[in-house]
Chain A
Amino acid sequence: MISRSLKQLSQALAAKEISSVELSSLFLDRIARLNPEINAFITVDREKTLAMAAAADQRLAAGTGGALTGIPIAQKDIFCAEGWTTTCGSKMLANFVAPYDATVIAKMHGEAGLVSLGKTNMDEFAMGSSNESSHFGPVKNPWDRARVPGGSSGGSAAAIAARLAPAATGTDTGGSIRQPAALCNLTGLKPTYGVVSRYGMIAYASSLDQGGPMAGSAEDCALLLNAMAGFDVRDSTSLDRPAEDYTRDLEQPLAGLRIGLPREFFAAGCDAGVMAAVQEAIREYERLGATIVDVSLPNSHLSVPAYYVIAPAEASSNLSRFDGVRYGYRAPDYGSLDDMYAKTRAQGFGGEVKRRILIGTYVLSHGYYDAYYLQAQRIRRLIADDFTAAFASCDVILGPTSPSTAFRLGEKSTDPVQMYLSDIYTVAVNLAGLPGMSIPCGFADGLPVGLQLIGNYFAEARLLNVAHRYQQVTDWHLRRPAGIA
């Protein structure tokens, strides 16, 4: 039962093969047994979960449930959920019990009838690519417990990979859904900016942040995106567009599909094992009827530098709200108001968060704003224009998600620049605001390799179709770590 897809679980619930309470208990029991080692969850609340499951069972019995009613999933601890401790991986919010629901949570708990198993571990304030910056300790990759699961949605990824949950929410500001999905052999989707509401999703870099699904397959991601997406009046950048059924094109044949390979993603800098798996996936797509097109993203090498100006700039503004006044941590001893702010923030934030706040403060300060912040925004436009030009000759862009497989715990945690470069293939997508996916495409030295698919704006259904058809002829996404059923 724990290995089944969301669609199969939905069928089992509909056929009364199992109840939501029973299904949720199965996963809660696995969490109780395996989480002490994996550390994928920060908060679990058995009573709350089982109450939601019981309510879902009533809806299922009354015939008022939807496609996902009664299915338990894990929630990244960046989403506020009323009555749940919502930490964002930080000491600053270690005791913060959210007084309201994020829109994503409200939609899932409400209309969709999904059941939350708990809140998953993450890099502090979503700043990281390894989950090692969490105040609640690193998460272990179920494929090799000496390695990182990726980040920042590392807890969500590890939870699914260890089958502590059949699916999870994630958020992606620079690759935080796609990179952990790649490192843990999962399917993850970052939607077009503005498709999923950011209300109640604790802000890191507001012009880049986007929530999305992480699961075992493209089909499951499509089902989850149906429950997550939609216009929200409470998010000023939410897009007011007609609702979509993201499963509608899953089965479309790929004959005639034009896949663009950006030559910059196939140059030096990617591990040979990763590249070999990606090349094999390209051959599989050719067998599925796709045509391969050479494209160029000439400014992609500037995406990491531009990202590490824009994201910290926005973070320094967003995180100014954590001042020890309205919520969260306050230093125990202080003198003046300024002293209270400075001590609260020194003690409440971890090293990586402080670094990014300092970078952001600097690039926004008088005399440096033009040289750094505006220059980064101009490069952001060059990067977005590169994608527009590439999509003139192809339907989707394909390449590796991450230049390496899962690295060892501690391997990059003392060198911020090395850590930042793990996002080299993912951040450009956030800067442009495009949808992107990672799907499993093989293994290198026993560790999962992720294939990145990038679509044009609002091409989520097409991306899911391209991923789904590949998953119909390959079984990489069905492989499990040793010892996990």
Chain B
Amino acid sequence: MARVYNWQLGRNMKYRFERGPTKRQFAAVFNINRCIACQTCTMACKSTWTHSPGQELMWWNNVETKPYGGYPANWDVKILALQEEKNPGRQTWDPSAGDPERAPYGRFEGKTIFETADGVDQMATGYLPSEEEWKAPNSFEDHATGWSPGGAQLPEHDQGWFFYMQRICNHCTYPACLAACPRNAIYKRPEDGIVLIDQERCRGYRKCVEACPYKKSMYRPTTHTSEKCIGCYPRVEGSDPLTDGRPMEPRCMAACVGKIRLMGLVRTEDDGTWSHDPTNPINFLVQEEKVALPLYPQLGTQPNIYYIPPRWVPRPYLRQMFGPGVDHAIDRYMHPSRELLAVLQLFRVSRHIIFSFKIRKGRKYEEVVVGGRKHSIYDDTVIGFDDKGNEVVRVNVKEPVFERPGKLNSI
């Protein structure tokens, strides 16, 4: 067992391997607040990668309704229960032990899935969901926790609430699937950190399905192998003919109707922390503003999909799901800085991956009051650039309004 640094936990932890030579990491920010659960992402993925015999129950991208929904059923409740059973009452955080760069959420005092595993039968604590558990990917769709006869108001909908959780493979920095594979058939690409199952070497042992806490490694009976989200790597690396050689966002991101997704590649240091790169929109959202948080960081895999938490959901539930950074993240989202408001406009405005951005200041055009606090809104322009510094998109904070002349309205 090696010792590696997990910045999301603010401490070293045990892992089967030393950290690999990943120089850039696939990462994305999903804004839960904007998702309408149209499942366009789900179908974009399905129709691209998993439409063939043996993949019927396979949804590399899925959107589930929390708190009751889950694909596979109850995946998160089950892994949290297993962890709690192995370290009862001690799966806690010390948020005060923080360091803005190396431990932004404080320190996790509990045990990761690698630390509760026996190292004999399992390299990471996990379980193998049965086929039945994969059969209803959108059960409990739109189910709230309760009925709010009097309606609900921010800051928390404490009577009845639900939200949509968009999930793909987290392309973890310390993947449990990779640690669990007895054949070393799973690898993490140095150039972008995408985690892949080598289809030539896989022998379908399903140890990865068992170990992945997010259950994003799936078994395909027609080939007796396991398959998983490949991060649309031909698009990310720019080798797909569609891309014209320029890195492009995966299908699920590019297809997002609700404009909730922004994908990027972040540079990483030898210890797995992110390089300081405040002009990369993902770094800006995660590191600088800390408005987007990892999903169940306490499991220890250092997942790389970051979520802007839903602002109406009771905080204890969100803290369990996203760690102690929740209150800060929601506060930043409710009361965004001038820069954050600009960067939030970059979601889904280009298929090409935005590697850096610049903000050109505009005039103040509005004053609003949110949660009792006054905000000035500026019509700033945010410009996104690709990996070679070419401009790929330019968008304003103030959405342009066009009025169609009445005489042209033929409806």
- A is bound by B: no
